[in-house]
């Protein structure tokens, strides 16, 4: 995505006349700050390794510690798996482009990356909704919590979060890459995301933009509304508690999830609810950088530092490793 080869040389390889169809794109990435490619490479590599390590630790302790064998931590471990997959689809490609100082990507590779980004992003939205439902049942209906959120229900919820997204994402990716791309082959982005790719399509993309809106409404806005409704009822229930300690504990168990929801949905909704042409390229890259890299970096830190059960499990794990 960053490169020193002249634009003319790359365009002769991948860009033809306006009447010809492109077979390759060039991810420009952050070419406007090309002097800092070494710094960016080191920073992104460190962030990637940190995300892998932190989420792997969460998966390990939630699967092995008996005190964490609850639906809340079952969802959290699956959320960490999604986070690992999500950054693996984006950051390694960025690192390769930084190292090679090129940004060439075939249309099939671009379509594959977009498909996985959308699939994992949609799964993350639905998992956050399932986690909010778990908190709603735990706080608003505690007497029936074990019955309602049994292991079978949790497995079905996680499976539906993964499987329901796949056909929609494949269909949307196919629809976008069925368009004809001609003229410029330069994507002013560091990943193959919907808004910058649509800008390179020839002809009218109105139907594709409407499809993006519809899918964004289904997998971004509807889950977000459900989360807001769940937390509205949770807050009302908490405020009715007579014990100040009980209120603090209830708020503590929900605050981490709520912070993650605000961070993720805030940037994702702005990006996909205005796919083209309202969003400037620089703002689009900044938002994408936020929800593809910064949010996955912050999520395990938020869940770890604000959760006493995970901190205790982590201390146990460290003590076992040191003895």
Q: Say what the pLDDT of residue 292 is.
A: 83
For residues 164-176, one letter each, b for 16 or more C-beta atoms within 10 angstroms of the residue's C-beta and e for the rest, the string is ebeebbeebbeeb
What would the DSSP string read from start to end of 27-79? E-TTGGGGGGHHHHHHHHHHHHHHHHHHHHHHHHHHHH-GGG-SHHHHHHHHH
Task: Check if the beta carbon of residue 202 is closer than 8 Å to that of residue 185.
Answer: no
Instruction: Tell me the pLDDT tens digit for each residue of 1-53.
Output: 333 344 344 444 444 444 456 678 999 887 767 677 888 899 999 999 999 99
| Helix H or strand E encompassing 25 | strand 24-27
Which comes out higher in pLDDT, residue 42 or 288?
42
HEC string of 157-194 equals HHHHHHHCHHHHHHHHHHHHHCCCECCCCEECCCCCCH
The winner for highest mean pLDDT among 10-14, 27-31, 147-151, 257-261 is: 147-151
Which comes out higher in pLDDT, residue 151 or 21?
151
Task: Check if the beta carbon of residue 272 is closer than 8 Å to that of residue 212.
Answer: yes
Which comes out higher in pLDDT, residue 195 or 105?
105
Backbone angles phi, psi at 104, to 5 degrees: -65, 130
Which comes out higher in pLDDT, residue 46 or 246?
46
Cis bond before residue 277 (omega within 30° of 0): yes
Domains and CATH numbers, the chain: 7-322 (1.20.1070.10)
The winner for highest mean pLDDT among 157-171, 195-209, 267-281, 284-298 is: 157-171
Instruction: Tell me the pLDDT tens digit for each residue of 160-196.
Output: 999 999 999 999 999 999 888 877 788 888 899 888 8
Backbone angles phi, psi at 267, to 5 degrees: -80, -40
Q: Say what the pLDDT of residue 274 is.
A: 58
Q: Say what the pLDDT of residue 177 is.
A: 92
| Residue 277: pLDDT band with limits 50, 70, 90 | very low
Query: What angle (nearest 5°) sits at the alpha carbon of residue 22, between those of residues 21 and 25?
Result: 165
Task: Please name the residues in contact with 187: beta carbons below 8 A apart, sequence gap of 6 or more.
Answer: 25, 26, 27, 28, 110, 196, 197, 200
| Residue 279: pLDDT band with limits 50, 70, 90 | low
Dist. CA 250–CA 257, nearest whole Å: 12
Q: Say what the pLDDT of residue 14 is.
A: 45
Q: Which of 41-50, 52-61, 277-286 has the lowest mean pLDDT?
A: 277-286
Which comes out higher in pLDDT, residue 273 or 74?
74
Task: Please name the residues in contact with 169: beta carbons below 8 A apart, sequence gap of 6 or more.
Answer: 115, 118, 119, 122
| Across 247-269, average pLDDT | 77
Q: Which of 30-34, 74-78, 237-241, 278-282 has the lowest mean pLDDT?
A: 278-282
Q: Say what the pLDDT of residue 272 is.
A: 64
Q: Say what the pLDDT of residue 2 is.
A: 37
What is the residue-averaged pLDDT of the chain? 83
Structure tokens at 103: 């940004």
Counting residues of the chain whose pLDDT is more than 70, the rounded percentage is 86
Backbone angles phi, psi at 105, to 5 degrees: -145, 130
Task: Please name the residues in contact with 115: beta carbons below 8 A apart, sequence gap of 6 or more.
Answer: 169, 170, 173
What would the DSSP string read from start to end of 199-238? TTB-S--HHHHHHHHHHHIIIIIHHHHHHHHHHHHHHHHH
The winner for highest mean pLDDT among 165-169, 253-257, 306-310 is: 165-169
Q: What share of the chain is helix, strand, coil (3-state, %, to 5)?
A: 75, 5, 20
């Amino acid at each position: 995505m960053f490169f020193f080869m002249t634009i003319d040389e790359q365009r002769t390889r991948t860009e033809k006349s306006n009447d010809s169809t492109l077979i390759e794109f060039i991810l420009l990435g952050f070419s406007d700050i090309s002097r800092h490619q070494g710094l960016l490479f080191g920073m992104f590599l460190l962030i990637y390794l940190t995300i892998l390590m932190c989420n792997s630790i969460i998966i390990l302790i939630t699967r092995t510690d008996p005190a964490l064998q609850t639906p809340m931590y079952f969802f959290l471990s699956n959320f960490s798996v999604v986070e690992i997959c999500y950054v693996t689809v984006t950051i390694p490609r960025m690192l390769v482009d930084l190292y090679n100082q090129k940004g060439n990507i075939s249309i099939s590779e671009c379509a594959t990356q977009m498909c996985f980004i959308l699939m994992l992003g949609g799964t993350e939205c639905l998992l956050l909704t399932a986690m909010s439902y778990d908190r709603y049942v735990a706080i608003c209906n505690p007497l029936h919590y074990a019955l309602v959120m049994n292991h079978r229900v949790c497995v079905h919820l996680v499976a539906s979060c993964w499987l329901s997204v796949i056909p929609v994402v494949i269909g949307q990716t196919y629809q976008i890459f069925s368009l004809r791309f001609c003229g410029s082959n330069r994507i002013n982005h560091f990943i193959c995301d919907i808004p910058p790719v649509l800008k390179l399509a020839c002809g009218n993309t109105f139907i594709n933009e409407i499809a993006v809106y519809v899918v964004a409404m289904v997998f971004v806005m509807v889950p977000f509304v459900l989360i807001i409704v769940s937390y509205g009822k949770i807050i009302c229930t908490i405020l009715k508690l007579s014990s100040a300690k009980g209120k603090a504990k209830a708020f503590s168990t929900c605050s981490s999830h709520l912070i993650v929801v605000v961070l993720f949905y805030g940037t994702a909704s702005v990006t996909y609810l205005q796919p083209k042409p309202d969003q400037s390229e620089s703002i689009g890259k900044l938002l994408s950088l936020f929800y593809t890299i910064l949010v996955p970096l912050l999520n395990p830190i938020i869940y770890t530092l604000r959760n006493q059960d995970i901190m205790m499990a982590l201390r146990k794990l460290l003590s076992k490793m040191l003895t």
